[in-house]
Amino acid sequence: MFVTPARFRAILLPALLVVGLFGASSVSAAEATATPQATTVAGTGVLAAHGDGHARLAGGYLLVGSLDGGSVSIRGIDRWSAIRVIGWTSKTRLADGTVVYRFADRIGHFWIAGRTLATNIESDAMRFTAAGHGRATLVGDGSYWVNGRGPFPWSDPGVEAAF
């Protein structure tokens, strides 16, 4: 069986992200920001969250999750990105290359990996885990864990965390 360059990238990128995650585990302690509702955690690692609202992730990561209705938009997709989304009811590609998946009232699952991505998730019930490095902003109600520590609450006006 011949491995095509696209298959090779789809296999290699997630493997590199996981190796990078566990190979370079230099995670700093949590630092409180000026507002009591916002928390920033610096470093490389794993962010897990579930809740109701809006999540925005930007950076280089492997993102795996599901949602009950809502939408997922992905910006910054390049040839090194690997995107798998199932359960969507409509898919729209915008002029700037952003891809928007809408799920209506259906359950959807997503697997997103890349080096310079920005992903927005909006749902009444979302669950996801991101491994790599980047920044996440969570607005709504829910809980999140950073590198196994938590759960920490996230609620309006939002939480901003680096992972």
Is the pTM for the entire model greater than 0.85? Answer: no
Cis peptide leading into 151, omega within 30 of 0? Answer: yes
Q: What would the two tokens of residue 161 be?
A: 């965390």
In this prediction, residue 15 carries a pLDDT of 46
Per-residue pLDDT tens for 33-92?
Answer: 333 343 344 467 899 999 999 999 999 999 999 999 999 999 999 999 999 999 999 999
| pLDDT above 60: residue 18 | no
Per-residue pLDDT tens for 83-126?
Answer: 999 999 999 999 999 999 999 988 999 999 999 999 999 999 99
In this prediction, residue 115 carries a pLDDT of 92
In this prediction, residue 162 carries a pLDDT of 62
| pLDDT above 60: residue 25 | no
| pLDDT above 70: residue 129 | yes
At residue 5 the predicted structure's pLDDT band, cuts being 50, 70 and 90, is low
Alpha carbons 105 and 91: distance in angstroms, whole number: 15
Exposed e or buried b per residue across 82-105, where buried means at least 16 C-beta atoms within 10 angstroms of its C-beta: bbebeebeeeeeeeeeeebbbbee
